[in-house]
Amino acid sequence: MTTAMNIPALIAAGDSLLESDGLNIDLHGANGAGRLTAAVLPNADGRLARIELTVLADGFADAEQMALDHMSMVLSRIAFQADVAVEVGAIVVVEKASQIVHAAATVVGAIQPAPMNAVEGWSTEELGPFLAAYREGLNNPNAPLYQALSFYKILEGAPAFHTRRVRAASRAGKPPPIDPFDAAIPADASLLSEDVWNRDAFAPYFGLSFTDVEAKVRTTIRNGAAHLKPGMENLRIADMTDDVRACRAIVPVLRYVARQIIEGELALANAAAGAPIPSPPN
């Protein structure tokens, strides 16, 4: 268990593309909390780097959600007016009476060995966009709505490969091949490989086929994150903490399914081309 963290260093690492000597922003508190004032403070280089505000909350999770829900819309407005990217890199909540600190941040993962045969035998022209979508999903840990969409696109588009194989088999008078989407999420966490990211996120999907996973999130995640229609049900907004959490929770599952599908399609494509099938990277 971690008992210490360099919180000052985490806070000092804040940065942005916005130059200012600071901003004071008046907010309307929720549930009769009255007006709140948020201070947007610069770093040593004169760029806006952190936001400080005080909220009355029932706990760390509640305080984090209140702060994000109050400030995310403000950040979106600032980003629009300045036309620059603005994102939240870390959240530090300090309980005033006890000075107990709760911190949350997204950091770069562990160093991985470069895969052997990373170029030869691992790509085709048609599969290139699927690899690109997978990379985009990996590259945006601070944008879970975009991550979810990136990985979902793979699930949405990949069935076309199987449809072609079924039609080709029919023309040749052969039985249809196995549908990769008939594969399933393992029945429990003990059956997941050790390198699976965020194993707890899989619990609602244990035993479901890849087809069922795609169908389960099509409306609640994909449509909600991809579309923006006033009054639409299941709309997912990057400024709303619950929506961000919902997308963040499904990303590990979509990533898992997307990876399984891509690896299978790459193996089939290389086999059809008579190329050796390299071992997938760990």
Task: Measure the CA–CA gap between 64 and 57, rounded to whole angstroms.
Answer: 9
Task: Judge if pTM exceeds 0.85.
Answer: no
Task: Measure the CA–CA gap between 121 and 25, rounded to whole angstroms.
Answer: 55
Query: If you average pLDDT over residues 251-255, what whole number do you get?
Result: 94
DSSP state of 181: G
**Across the chain, how many H-helices and E-strands are there?**
8, 5
Query: If you average pLDDT over residues 195-212, what whole number do you get?
Result: 90
pLDDT, tens digit, for every residue of 87-144? 777 788 888 778 878 776 665 555 555 444 444 445 577 888 998 999 999 888 889 9
Q: In terms of pLDDT, which residue wins out, 97 or 220?
A: 220
Q: In terms of pLDDT, which residue wins out, 261 or 66?
A: 261
Q: Please determine, for residue 206, whether its predicted confidence score (pLDDT) is greater than 70.
A: yes
The position carrying tokens 């305080």 is 63
Query: If you average pLDDT over residues 227-245, what whole number do you get?
Result: 88
Instruction: Tell me the two tokens of residue 29.
Output: 């508190």
Task: Measure the CA–CA gap between 159 and 102, rounded to whole angstroms.
Answer: 43
Residue 156 sits at φ, ψ, to 5 deg, of: -75, -40
Q: What pLDDT sits at residue 28? A: 65
Q: pLDDT > 90: what percent of the chain?
A: 32
Instruction: Tell me the two tokens of residue 237.
Output: 């907004």
Long-range CB contacts for residues 179-183, cutoff 8 Å, separation at least 24: 179/211, 180/210, 180/260, 180/261, 180/264, 180/265, 181/209, 181/210, 181/211, 181/214, 181/261, 182/209, 182/210, 182/211, 183/209, 183/210, 183/260
DSSP state of 281: P
Among the listed residues 204, 236, 229, 197, the one whose alpha carbon sits nearest the alpha carbon of residue 112: 197
Residue 41 sits at φ, ψ, to 5 deg, of: -110, 145
Average pLDDT of the chain to the nearest whole number: 82
Strands 35-42 and 48-52: antiparallel
